[in-house]
Structure 1
Amino acid sequence: MTSTGDVEGRAGPLWWARRRDAVEDVVIGGVSAVECAWEGVGFAHEAGIPVPAGVLFGFVVGTTLTLRRRWPIAVVLVGIAVSPAVMGFLLGVVALYTLATSEVPRRITATLTSMSMAATFVVMYMLTRKDAEAGSTLVVLLSVFVAVALTVPPVLFGLYIGARRRLMESLQERADSLERELSLLADRAEERAEWARKEERTRIAREMHDVVAHRVSLMVVHAAALQAIALKDPAKAVKNAALVGDMGRQALTELREMLGVLRAEAPKRRAAAVPVPVALGLVGGFEEGPTLAELEALVGQSRAAGMVVELDVRGVGDPYAAEVEQTAYRVVQEALTNCHKHAPGARVVVRLAHREGEFAMQVENGPCDGKAAEPGLPSGGNGLVGMRERVLGLGGVFVSGPTDGGVCTTRRAQGIQSPSPSESPSPTPSGSTRE
């Protein structure tokens, strides 16, 4: 039976787990060999054998204690076997202690302990009865006391040390397991943080695109009109110049608000492993954004740029969540920007229908006016993608594409289910359109 000292990853020689254990066992085995060799002299006289033979026998018996960690049961059996020769005091005590600390089944430990106690009792009784009256109570009590004193304390101490060692090993394994779990959690937290940073970059990119693209597009349209009428109608040119200035200031104001949110300090109490931009976006990203009440002003800006825009609102809805109203505003803003880019001179209709718990929006432009000049605005191809991401992120439905009449539409509906054709402001076939 191999003891717990025989473990994987040992650094000591042979079966020893550590070099220090090997030195300890060799020293104890040497002391036991000297003791047994000295006791072998008396055994030789009692057995009537040559003294050198008795000494050699005792020396060999004592050295078996060196194997206590490898074969604890065998060493205990050797100690029991030589007990009639009245030798191996250190051998028996240390062997029982090692047996109790090992992983040997407890029934085997109990059996060997009982055998050792019985052997010690018999030997002690045989030795003491020579000097006392045979069968006296004193001899029996003395024999019992010696037998118990030489077997029970080392076994109990060994059981305590073994239990303590197993407890420490269990705690070490638990600590290693917790460390591995913490490492996995840290890796997952890093992955979530990277995902959150990516999502936040995407959200900021959408905000920047919505703010800059719409305002700058209107400024370009007004600048083109200003260039065309500067000499013909100075009063209207001045009005357009003022509108360009107002739009530029509005764009700068919105950009400053966004940058201010990004520069703001993160809340002191925020979830671990969540990057600062995400925490800021959740705290202030939607609180100061535009709302549905500002759609009239948004449509008015496009009207001032020369676009014919009709705003049709049906029903009265309760106030929606801030992110929902901001998303609806941005969708209409981007749709009007696309109309300025790709359908100059076309008539545009913005419809808003409130329902229970959700609403539907539709932006539809008519055929382009052939007399209107193409403003030549650049397009990055991200507008429709951004609108779709916003709407789907809130559980809504987004559809864009040409209608049967050749015009382009963009629709956004809040809620899980999209409005039925009879309840929506107008039919909106799916398809694709330019940004």
Structure 2
Amino acid sequence: MTTTGEERARGLTGPWWWARWRSAALDGSLALMSAVECGAEGVPFARDAGIPLWVGVLFGVIAGSALLVRRKWPIAVVLVAIAITPAQMGFLMGVVGLYTLASCELPRRIIGALAGMSLLGTMIVTFVRVRQSMARGDLTLGDWFEPFAAVTTSLGLTAPPLLFGLYVGARRRLMESLRERADSLERELQLLAERAEERAEWARNEERTRIAREMHDVVAHRVSLMVVHAAALQAVARKDPEKAVKNAALVGDMGRQALTELREMLGVLRAGEDVVGVRRGAGVPLAAVGEAAAAAASRAVAEDGPCLSELDDLIGQSAAAGMAVELLVVGEVRSYAAQVERTAYRVVQEALTNVHKHAAGAKTHVRLAHRVSEIAMQVENEAPPEPGSASAARLPSGGNGLVGMRERVVALGGVFVSGPTDAGGFRVSAVIPAA
């Protein structure tokens, strides 16, 4: 499992309440210090203003306590600090308020305006106080000292907190931006990992379906011919022993061919398992292992599958089983991609198997057309001798043959059509692009 940036930040700062209490404690401490400072400064202010001392102290304490709300209302804190500047109060509050204001998410023009007001107010008050001190004789420096003291004091109380606050605010925004980017990247990585798992699962399911179609074609056709020959063998065993021996030999050949093709299919599966073992041992992710196994199995099936050159043998096997079948080839014979030839072969094979199952004894026509950019095939059987009757061998049917043929052809961008004919037979047609 992965953790987001927010969870990492929470883990570094402690429980959820820790940051809040820490901020509250800091603000409370600063407000207490400011209140003590302003209360102490309220004593000379009360004497100069001619008011009771407790009134000046109370006024200073109340004004200094404004730092408690510096995070929520930083503008108000700065305005209070500017307002009590003529009374020579709130130096700590002014410094902290300017820092808080500069570090907040406020428009720069507002920050600049308030900072300028604080600078101007501090400069005027300092200038007036220094002149009054020189007039009383407390200071005996030249006239140059008045503007110098006013400028340096105002800049010293305004510029450092303002610049430091701007720096802290910019750094905070940068860290938040980086944290958001990190969280976004983690979410994208999680999404990519989920999509990779989905692609791997899709590849595995697709390969299972492909292998299931291959095994269905192998088993259904070979075993159907074996059952037909076995039924014929049972019928002629006593009447024609020589024909019975011939049929028994054909059944044996069919069985051996079925076993050979099944071994090839199992070899494909073992090759895929070997790829999985090697990739897992090398530390490759499971999604990549699944896709690699599916690709390896697909390549093995493509290399070991049948081709159109074996079509004559397929027709001969059906003819040996008692089917009246004829093959018509139109166009210039040429080679195609392995997938195209294998799919064309399987369509004809499955169509002949269906004739054995559902229209035993019906005459069948197989047409193969080599065109410029495609190859077309059609398997059509006439009406069976006894309409509505199934094969004498009572071959079972799972109903997946036509579905498998359609999936094969459509996967290559071709067109598949099947259905009964007006004469009572059945027709299977497919067109596959040559490329």
Cross-structure match for 1:111: 113
Matches for 1:25-424 after TM superposition, within 5 Å: 25-129=27-131, 130-131=133-134, 132=139, 136-263=143-270, 264=272, 265-266=274-275, 268=279, 272=287, 275-276=290-291, 278-369=294-385, 374-415=392-433
**Alpha-carbon spacing, 1:159–1:44, altered in 2? closer, same or farther (3 Å):** same
Q: Provide Cα deviations, 1:62-109, integer angstroms capped at 9, x if missing partner.
A: 111111111111110111111121121111100000000112211111
Q: Provide Cα deviations, 1:326-362, integer angstroms capped at 9, x if missing partner.
A: 1111111111111111222222221111000111111
**Alpha-carbon spacing, 1:412–1:166, altered in 2? closer, same or farther (3 Å):** same
**2-structure distance, mates of 1:245, 1:45:** 125
TM-score of the aligned structures, taking structure 1 as reference length? 0.85
> Would you say the 8 A contact 1:364–1:407 is kept in 2?
yes
> Would you say the 8 A contact 1:270–1:279 is kept in 2?
no
Amino acid at match of 2:404: G
**Alpha-carbon spacing, 1:135–1:70, altered in 2? closer, same or farther (3 Å):** farther
Amino acid at match of 1:415: P
Cross-structure match for 2:7: none
**1-structure distance, mates of 2:341, 2:285:** 26
Q: Which moved more, 1:301-310 or 1:19-28?
A: 301-310
* SS of 1:286 mapped into structure 2: helix
> Would you say the 8 A contact 1:340–1:375 is kept in 2?
no
**Alpha-carbon spacing, 1:282–1:133, altered in 2? closer, same or farther (3 Å):** farther
Deviation at 1:289, TM superposition (A): 0.8
RMSD: 2.8
> Would you say the 8 A contact 2:123–2:151 is kept in 1?
yes
Cross-structure match for 1:420: none
Structure 2 portions without partners, runs of 5+: 1-14
Number of equivalences: 404
* SS of 1:103 mapped into structure 2: coil
More helix by share: 2
Deviation at 1:317, TM superposition (A): 4.1
**1-structure distance, mates of 2:391, 2:309:** 32
In the TM superposition, structure 1's runs of 4+ consecutive aligned residues that sit over 6 Å from their partners are none
TM-score of the aligned structures, taking structure 2 as reference length? 0.85
Q: Which moved more, 1:71-80 or 1:368-377?
A: 368-377
Amino acid at match of 2:325: V
**Alpha-carbon spacing, 1:292–1:400, altered in 2? closer, same or farther (3 Å):** same
**Alpha-carbon spacing, 1:274–1:397, altered in 2? closer, same or farther (3 Å):** farther
> Would you say the 8 A contact 1:262–1:280 is kept in 2?
no
* SS of 1:401 mapped into structure 2: strand
Q: Provide Cα deviations, 1:192-247, integer angstroms capped at 9, x if missing partner.
A: 45544443333232222111100100111111222233344444333322322222
What percentage of residue pairs aligned between the two structures are identical? 64
**2-structure distance, mates of 1:50, 1:187:** 75
**Alpha-carbon spacing, 1:341–1:373, altered in 2? closer, same or farther (3 Å):** closer
**1-structure distance, mates of 2:127, 2:220:** 107
> Would you say the 8 A contact 1:11–1:17 is kept in 2?
yes
* SS of 1:46 mapped into structure 2: helix
